[in-house]
Amino acid sequence: MLSRMFKATILGHNPVKEKLISDLHKAGILEIVEIEKEAEKEAGFNDSDTLQAKLQRISKLIEDLNYSANFLNPFKPKKAKKTRSYTDENYQTITRSFKYNILEKIKKFNQQMQQHENRIDYCYNMISLLSPWQKVKVEFDQMNFEHVNTFFGIMNKKKLSSFQKEIERVNLSSFNIIHSTRDNVYFFLMYAKQIEETINEMMKAFPLTAMDFSFVRGTIYKTMTSFKDEIRDLETHIEDIKEQLKEYAEYFDDILICVDYWGMVFQREEIKRKFYATQSTFLLKGWIQEKDIDRLKGLNKKYRETDISFSLPEPGEVPPVALKNNPVFSPFEMVTKLFGVPGTDDVDPTPLLAPFFALFFGICLTDAGYGLVLLILSALLLFKLRKTKGEGTVKLMKVLIISGLFTIIVGAITGGWFGIDFDKLPKAFRAIKEFRDRLVLLEPLKNPLVLFITTLALGAVQVLTGIIIKLFLYVKDKRYYEAFSSPFAWFLIVSGIISAMLLKIKLLWVFPVAGACIILVFTSRQGNILVRLLKGAYSLYGITSIFGDILSYSRLFALALSTGVIALVINVVVGILYQMIVKIPYVGVPMAVIFGIFIVVFGHLFNIVINSLGGFIHTTRLQFVEYFGKFYEGSGSEFRPFKREYKYIKIQ
């Protein structure tokens, strides 16, 4: 259901503003809304420029903290603290005593490391470039000849013979191959300066890569050695920096604490933009749930300089929406929010989808053993993550726990227990088989048609439920004509057709005929009778869409069969491999047991994970498209109270 919302208005003197903001932030019960600021600007009380500058400074500090945390992450102690809880006093002491000057030092270390690493990459590139030319023994810084030019280049081997012929035609030149690979030739050409133009014209006809060795000092070998020495020196410097960073990494946890602290400071400062302020007073407005009004009143009693009032939404105002459900249904609010929260005049679909969601998920797995594993794993994750993760993660784990319970029930009814073929079990397990058989009502692999019809029947029930809810909403809004001409008529048609076909009672066809007549005549109020009848006939075509929606529920049948078949195949494969491996002398039995256990555990876990994911996606899709499409829009704005948001820490 939807929580009732009230608008709270707080007027106070500026001296208590900071403390009040901090208390509201800690309480997390008020969604503060922005107040029109035109009068404030005209009065000259706008301090947005000063506030903007402060927000920019805080944002820059948070950026530096995150930068340092990301850089120090590889160097943090192996037993670094994970997310943990602190008291207000404790974490504020840490943030006040933190040495913020180390952030600049860490940044300089990072810059130095990047410079060294870039230089190392350059040195390796130069070594790779020079490596084919190592046979050249000349001193490059002494190759400045008065009458002779030199050229170092690379050419494709396919052009080599043609190039050599051209060179041979020219006197006063010398051509030498230094190195060759499968595709290229590295060569050295020396020629007299007086034929420079002739050589240049000739080389234009060939695809050559000219080498520039102006950076070489001495021989190629000496230059390569120099680069290698430089690499060793730079790597030593990097290791020295890393050792120093290990000392700074002791501050890693404190940096994360500061990230969260300054993030909350940023929130408190940014929220001031929504206030109306004068030189001595401030005014704020916000939405609050009815159940939290007494908490806000109690908080406000701490301040003599403030006044608070509450009011219902005015005509035209659209308050945010907060969902309020009992502990069984509340976890499924995360499914509703994936689609969108209801509008203020909508119905909360959470209690209406929860039973269907859990049941359909259970049908997708159809294995009691898988349901038990899913329940246990989800419960363990919930216990581990409940204090460190957000509300969404906790609710997801609870949804999986409830869905796991339904999976156990559906699996017991359909006889699925880790894909075990109970008919092939030894007589020693007869008691287990008899217990399992007492619970079985339907075996999908033996009677797939019954399961198929069951899934379609459940689909029809949910589609009809959606139509009934739409009918209720129309009646609630006193839109009796729309209720009669649309959902009521469609309910008669769908339920009438299904009942007439199942019960084979001809008289029941009266209901779908009556529903069709209602749609044909009453769908449109405008135009002459012919136009209204044509529009009604066009609306009747929607029957294909409704029965198409019901047919979509056959995906539950497909997923149920696939889960059971894969589980059975895993067990069969294990049995075959066991019979093959056990025949190996001496080590056959232990190897067969080890391989068997590995395949069973890994195979069934993979089947659980992949089909749980598929079950969740397809079940959610059925709710959003086939079910919500009948009555729900999800057009509301979610209630987002001003509250502390943590990434790394929890404040007790």
Range from 8-17, 152-161, 235-244, 526-535 carrying the lowest mean pLDDT: 526-535
**pLDDT value of position 44:** 43
Question: In this predicted structure, what is the pLDDT of residue 39?
Answer: 44
**Distance in angstroms (rounded) separating the CA atoms of residues 317 and 173:** 92
CATH class of the domain comprising 138-218: alpha beta
Taking 80 as the threshold, does the pLDDT of residue 570 lie above it? Answer: yes
Q: What is the pTM of this model?
A: 0.74
Mean pLDDT computed over 537-545: 79
365/348 Cα distance (integer angstroms): 28
Q: Alpha-carbon distance 23 to 29, whole Å?
A: 10
Kindly report the backbone phi and psi dihedral angles of residue 186, in degrees, each rounded to the nearest multiple of 5, phi listed first: -100, 120
Q: Residues 192-210: what's their mean pLDDT? A: 85
Residue 85 confidence (pLDDT): 63
Dihedral class, residue 428 (left if φ above 0, else alpha if ψ from -120 to 50, else beta):
alpha
Higher pLDDT, 528 or 283: 283
pLDDT reading at 216 higher than 70: yes
Average of per-residue pLDDT across 499-505? 84
Give the mean model confidence (pLDDT) for residues 50-78.
84
Mean pLDDT of all residues in 499-516: 84
Mean pLDDT of 21-29: 86
- Residue 651: pLDDT band (50, 70, 90) is low
Q: What are phi and psi of 285, to 5 degrees?
A: -130, 150
- Is pLDDT at 603 greater than 70 in this prediction? yes
Q: φ and ψ at 646, to 5 degrees? A: -110, 145
Instruction: Give the pLDDT confidence of 109-143 residue by residue, as tens digits.
Output: 989 999 999 999 999 999 999 999 888 888 887 77
- Which of 43-47, 215-219, 416-420, 448-452 has maximum average pLDDT? 448-452
Instruction: State pLDDT tens for residues 421-468.
Output: 887 777 777 888 888 888 888 888 888 899 999 999 999 999 999 999
pLDDT at 43 over 60: no
Q: Kindly calculate the radius of gyration of the chain based on its CA atoms and give it in whole angstroms.
A: 38
pLDDT of amino acid 41: 47
Contact 203, 164 (CB under 8 A): no
Which of 475, 359, 450 minimizes the C-alpha distance to 409?
359
* The predicted structure's pLDDT at residue 387: 66
| Encoded amino acid at 593, one letter | V
Poorest-pLDDT segment among 32-36, 53-57, 400-404, 464-468? 32-36
How much is the pLDDT for 384?
83
The pLDDT value recorded for residue 400 is: 93
Mean predicted lDDT score pLDDT of the chain: 85
pLDDT, mean of residues 255-267 = 85
Q: List the chain domain ranges.
A: 5-97+249-311, 138-218, 330-365+367-443+553-631
Comparing 172 with 640, the larger pLDDT belongs to: 640
Q: Assign 40 a pLDDT band (cuts: 50, 70, 90).
A: very low
Residue 46 has pLDDT above 60, yes or no: no
The mean-pLDDT minimum among 70-84, 202-216, 332-346, 390-404 falls in 70-84
